[in-house]
Structure 1
Amino acid sequence: MLTVNNLSVQFGKRILFDEVNTTFSDGNIYGVIGANGAGKSTFLKILAGDIDPTSGNVFLEPGKRMSVLNQNHNMFDDKTVLETVMMGNKVLFAIKKEMDELYLDYNDKNADRIGELQVRFEEMNGWNADSDAAAMLSNLGIGEEFHYALMGDLDGKLKVRVLLAQALFGNPDVLIMDEPTNDLDFETIAWLEDFLANYENTVIVV
C-alpha cells in the first residue's frame, strides 16, 4: 500500500531520520509517537509529499488515493462548507466542476465530453457526493444551516471540523492525520474514534 524506502532526513548537522524502512498495510491503524521535536509531523508531511526527504523515497501503490487532514484553517475561506468537504476528493471535485462549467454552455461540441465525465462521475458515486458530504458534516456536529456558508464566516473550531470531514470524505485508501482531536469536543472525539475503529483502509495518525 504505502512503503517507505531508505528514508533519511537531515537539517544542517542534525539527523532526524536515518535510512528508515517501513510499510503501511491495508486495513491497519498506525500511531506515530515521540517527544516534541522528534519529527512526527515532518514524517507525516514526507508521507504526504509535502516535504522531500534528504534521500530515499515514499511509494504509494498506483490507483490508491491518499487524504491528509489540512492544517491551514484559512485555505478555503472563499469556498462554501460543502465545497470544501468535497474538495477532499480532488478528482471527483474536478470532474464535477468541469461538468458544471460545460452545462452552462451546452452544445453539440461538448456533448461527448459531458458524457465521458458523467460516466466517470457515476463510477465514483458522484451523484451522492452532496448527500455524503452533508452526512459527514452532520456526524461531526455541523448543522445544515452551515453547509452553504463560506468557510471564512466560520469560527476556528467549526473550521477544524469541516477540514476533518474533508479528510474523511470519499473513503480514501490512506488517511493521514496530525493530532486530529485538537479543538474537538468529547462527543465528536468519541464519534471519530468509533469511525476510525471501523475504518477498513489505512490510517496514520500522530
Structure 2
Amino acid sequence: MLSVSNLSVQFGKRVLFDEVNVAFTQGNCYGIIGANGAGKSTFLKILAGQIDPTSGHVHLEPGKRMSILEQNHNSADEYTVLEAVVMGNKPLYEIKKEIDALYADYDDKNADRIGELQVQFEEMNGWNADSDAAALLSNL
C-alpha cells in the first residue's frame, strides 16, 4: 500500500534518516514513536508528500491517498473528533468548505462552480468521508 525505499534526510550536517526502507501494508495499524526532534513529524510529512527527502522515494499504491492530521493540539478545539479527522484530508475538506459557503450564498452565478466542486467531491468519495473517518477511529 505504501512503501519507502532508500529514504535519506539530512539538514545541513545533521543526518535524520539514512537509507530507510519500510513497507506499510493494508489491514495493519502503525505507530511512530521517538524522542522530540527524532524526525517523526518530518517522516510523516515526507510520506504525505509535503516535503521532499534528500534521497530515496515514497511509493503510494495507485488509488490510495495519504493524509496527516497536524499535531497542533489547540487547532481543532471547536471541532468534534470526527470533524478533525475529516479535516486531515485537506483537499476534500477545502472542497466541502467551498461548497458549503457557496450554498450559504446561493445564486445562479455560482451554480456551475458548485457543480464542478460536487463532481470533485464525489470523485474523492466525499459522501463517505464521515463514515470512513468513524471506521478509522473505531479501529485505533
Which one has the largest radius of gyration? 1
In the alignment, which residue of structure 2 is the partner of 1:64?
A: 64
Cα–Cα, structure 1 residues 44 and 87, in superposed 2: closer, same or farther, change >3 Å? closer
Cα–Cα, structure 1 residues 115 and 47, in superposed 2: closer, same or farther, change >3 Å? closer
Q: How does 1:33-182 map to 2 (within 5 A)?
A: 36=35, 39-41=38-40, 42-75=42-75, 80-82=78-80, 85=84, 86-103=86-103, 104-107=105-108, 109-121=109-121, 123-125=125-127, 129=130, 169=133
SS of residue matched to 2:52: coil
In the alignment, which residue of structure 2 is the partner of 1:27?
A: 27
Cα–Cα, structure 1 residues 113 and 49, in superposed 2: closer, same or farther, change >3 Å? closer
Distance, in Å, in 1 between the alignment partners of 2:114 and 2:30 is: 41
Cα–Cα, structure 1 residues 81 and 117, in superposed 2: closer, same or farther, change >3 Å? same
Q: Offset at 1:21?
A: 2.1
Higher relative contact order (CA 8 A, sep 6+): 1
SS of residue matched to 2:53: coil
Q: Is this contact kept in 2: 1:89–1:170, CA < 8 A?
A: no
In the alignment, which residue of structure 1 is the partner of 2:10?
A: 10
Q: Is this contact kept in 1: 2:48–2:68, CA < 8 A?
A: yes
Cα–Cα, structure 1 residues 48 and 118, in superposed 2: closer, same or farther, change >3 Å? closer
Gaps of 5+ in 2: none
Query: How big is the alpha-carbon RMSD for the aligned residues of Structure 1 and Structure 2?
Result: 3.5
Identity between Structure 1 and Structure 2 (%) = 60
Distance, in Å, in 2 between the alignment partners of 1:170 and 1:106 is: 34
Q: Give the TM-score normalised by structure 1.
A: 0.49
Q: Match for 1:124: what amino acid?
A: G
Cα–Cα, structure 1 residues 117 and 19, in superposed 2: closer, same or farther, change >3 Å? same
